[in-house]
């Protein structure tokens, strides 16, 4: 039976850490779905549609990967997609504490869906979407932190916004 996994997140923006986890998950699963969570309470740099487009462009050379959005509980979306595994990337101990709570809650909600933790590559332990946006807002260099297509879009987005 083919193994389908869901890698959920806000991916605002998709970083090289996210890319690394994606590329390391691909040999382990038959199909990987990157699910962008729609969260009206979060203030995002990019719309969900823009994130889908950028991630699809970044991962275009990978077979067996799809990118879509979802609302509601991650575990319900995983089940609806036929995913029996949720992939979660970990950077540090603080991530583990939060992710362990979420994995246990998901298991309680749906014991058919398991969580697989993957450590982010050590070169990206310090990279978060929030940090990338902050560095870019302060005119820092984000190349090497995000894929080139995404770096270009982050800079274009910031340049199109009115200056204070």
Quote the crossing angle between the two packed helices 74-81 and 93-109, to the nearest 10°.
Answer: 60
Annotated active-site residue 157? The verdict is no
Asked if residue 110 lies in contact with residue 77, where contact means CB atoms within 8 angstroms, the answer is no
Q: Which of 18, 51, 88, 133 is catalytic?
A: 18
Q: Which of 51, 88, 91, 133 is catalytic?
A: 91
Closest CA to 59 of 157, 141, 143, 150: 150
Annotated active-site residue 163? The verdict is no
Annotated active-site residue 112? The verdict is no
Annotated active-site residue 84? The verdict is no
Q: Which of 51, 84, 88, 129 is catalytic?
A: 129
Distance between CA 103 and CA 34 in Å, rounded? 17
List, by residue number, the catalytic residues.
Answer: 18, 42, 91, 129
């Amino acid at each position: 039976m083919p193994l389908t996994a869901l890698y959920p997140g806000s991916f605002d923006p998709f970083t090289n850490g996210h890319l690394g986890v994606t590329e390391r998950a691909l040999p382990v699963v038959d199909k990987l779905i990157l699910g962008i969570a729609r969260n009206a309470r979060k203030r995002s740099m990019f719309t969900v549609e823009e994130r889908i487009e950028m991630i699809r462009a970044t991962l275009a050379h990978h077979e067996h990967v799809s990118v879509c959005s979802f609302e509601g509980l991650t575990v319900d979306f995983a089940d609806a997609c036929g995913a029996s595994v949720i992939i979660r990337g970990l950077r540090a101990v603080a991530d583990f504490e939060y992710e362990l709570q979420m994995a246990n809650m998901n298991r309680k909600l749906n014991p058919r869906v398991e969580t697989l933790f993957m450590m982010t590559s050590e070169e990206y332990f310090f990279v978060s979407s929030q940090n990338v946006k902050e560095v870019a807002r302060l005119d820092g260099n984000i190349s090497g932190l995000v894929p080139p297509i995404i770096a270009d879009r982050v800079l274009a987005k910031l340049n199109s916004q009115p200056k204070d």
